[in-house]
Amino acid sequence: MNGPNEKAKPGIHVLAKPIGSICDIACDYCFYLEKRELFPGERQFRMSDEVLAKYVEQYVEAQPTPVVEFVWHGGEPTLLGVDFYRRVVEAQKPFRGRKEIRNTLQTNALSLDDEWCAFFKEHDFFIGVSLDGPKDVHDRYRKDRHGKGTFDRVMAGVKLLQKHGVEFNALACVGRDTAYKPLDVYRFFREAGIRYIQFTPIIEREPDAETKAIKLWLARPAVLDRPEPNTKVTPWTVEPEAYGDFLIAIYEEWVRKDVGTTFVMNFEWALNAWIGAGSPICIFSKTCGRAVAIEHDGSVYACD
């Protein structure tokens, strides 16, 4: 226990990718699908029970905080099946009591059914649903591998989460063509009974010839020390002014009508930082480096 004048040590944040980049849809803006190119010849993108057990043990032991949060990401993590996450819960059992263990899972919600939602409720998983807004907004960029929109199937999953009383939030990406409908997007979430919302701007670079050659069109970071760095952005990248106007329009409605009933995490984080309470995410922090990603094979990378 920390003394009254002893500052608590911050923990690290890990995004676990137990299925790597494997996903059952193909969003226009998804950079992570390309990351399978980092594993040439790999066919089995699935975290083994051995890697899972070591990860759980080492992550808990490495955390100086009383709460340890496991974040399961992808790709689409539900493609592993619910039994994988039953093994996750079993692997965490020896550490409960010493630490408070929490689980969060980010999903496109297409695979959710009653079995999944009952499991989430029983084991107190917090779920993030990738949902960009109403049908015309969501289906603009979030399509399946046949080019069809996924909105109706996502909303079926959302309704199942609500039916089972599972806590969840919506993670909405904001692109160039969708930034001009801020109140349509915000009111859709509110009217759908979605109380927790997080907005993420889409900002991605066009690939140069060298980037195309290694098949990392979106995933490779800019190389700024070149004579001509690759800083041209994709057609779906949101314009800075448009994203700012998007958030301002939503804030003005939220602050007048919905404080305390609808929680827009962007505003919560900004207000926390403003009052000096710190921020759980990097964009409002003074430094980065507290977040890493662990892939299906146990390899660890900085950030996402």
**Active centre residues (catalytic):** 304
Strand order in the sheet with 291-294: 263-264, 196-201, 168-174, 125-130, 100-107, 67-72, 13-16, 291-294, 300-302
- Asked if residue 107 lies in contact with residue 53, where contact means CB atoms within 8 angstroms, the answer is no
**Measured on CA atoms in the order 12, 13, 18, 19, is the torsion positive or negative?**
negative
Q: What one-letter code names the amino acid at 64?
A: P
**Structure-token pair, residue 284:** 């409002």
Rounded CA-CA distance 16/56 in Å is 10
Taking alpha carbons only, the member of 22, 42, 43, 47 closest to residue 32 is 22
The SS3 of residue 208 is coil
Pairing of strands 67-72, 125-130: unpaired
Q: Which residues of 274-287 are buried (b: 16+ CB within 10 A; e: fewer)?
A: eeeeebebeeebee
- Asked if residue 91 lies in contact with residue 119, where contact means CB atoms within 8 angstroms, the answer is no
Q: Alpha helix (H) ranges present in the chain?
A: 49-62, 82-92, 114-122, 135-141, 151-164, 182-191, 209-213, 240-257, 265-274
Pairing of strands 263-264, 291-294: unpaired
In eight-state DSSP terms, residue 33 is G
